[in-house]
A and B are shown apart, each in its own frame.
Chain A
Amino acid sequence: MNFSRIDSGEETIIRIEGVLDAVTTPDIRPEIDSLVAQKRRDIIVDVSSLRLIDSSGVGVIVSLFKRSKAYGGSVRVSGLKDQPLTIFRLLRLDKVFKLA
Chain B
Amino acid sequence: MLGALAILPNPQVQYSARGTTHVIRLEVPSLFEYRDLAMRMVASACRLVDVRKTDGPRPKRDGQFTAQVMSAFGEAFNNVVLHSYGAEGGHLQIEVELAKDALTIRIMDFGKTFDIHSVPTPNLDDLPESGLGIFIIRSCMDIVTYSPGTPNVMSMTKYIGNQ
**Which A residues contact B (CB, under 8 angstroms)?**
19, 21-23, 52, 54-56, 58-59, 62-63, 65-66, 82-83, 85-87, 90-93, 96
Q: How far is the CA of A66 from the CA of B39 in the complex (A)?
A: 30
Contact status A91-B39, CB under 8 Å: no
Tell me the smallest distance from the CB of B43 to a CB of chain A, in Å. 9
Is residue B139 contacting chain A, with contact meaning CB distance below 8 A?
yes
Contact status B63-A90, CB under 8 Å: no
Q: How far is the CA of A58 from the CA of B63 in the complex (A)?
A: 20
Q: Name which of B74, B133, B139 has the most chain A CB atoms within 10 A of its CB.
A: B74
Contact status B78-A56, CB under 8 Å: yes
Contacts A22-B35, A22-B81, A90-B140 supplied; 11 other A-B pairs, CB < 8 Å: A23-B32, A52-B39, A54-B74, A55-B78, A55-B130, A59-B132, A65-B127, A83-B63, A83-B70, A85-B67, A92-B124
Identify whether the interface residues of B are mostly helix, strand, loop, or mixed.
Answer: helix
Q: How far is the CA of A83 from the CA of B63 in the complex (A)?
A: 8
Contact status B32-A22, CB under 8 Å: yes
Which residue on A lies nearest to B63, using beta carbons? A82
Tell me the smallest distance from the CB of A57 to a CB of chain B, in Å. 10
| Residues of chain B with a CB closer than 8 A to A82's CB | 63, 67
Which residue on B lies nearest to A84, using beta carbons? B67
Is residue B68 contacting chain A, with contact meaning CB distance below 8 A?
yes
Q: How far is the CA of A55 from the CA of B119 in the complex (A)?
A: 15
Is residue B27 contacting chain A, with contact meaning CB distance below 8 A?
no
Contact status B70-A52, CB under 8 Å: yes
Contact status B132-A55, CB under 8 Å: yes
| Residues of chain B with a CB closer than 8 A to A86's CB | 64, 67-68, 71, 140
Other-chain residue from A52, A58, A63, A65 in contact with B132 (beta carbon distance below 8 A): A58
Tell me the smallest distance from the CB of B69 to a CB of chain A, in Å. 10
Tell me the smallest distance from the CB of A6 to a CB of chain B, in Å. 25
Q: How far is the CA of A92 from the CA of B129 in the complex (A)?
A: 13
| Residues of chain B with a CB closer than 8 A to A19's CB | 36
Other-chain residue from A21, A63, A90 in contact with B74 (beta carbon distance below 8 A): A21
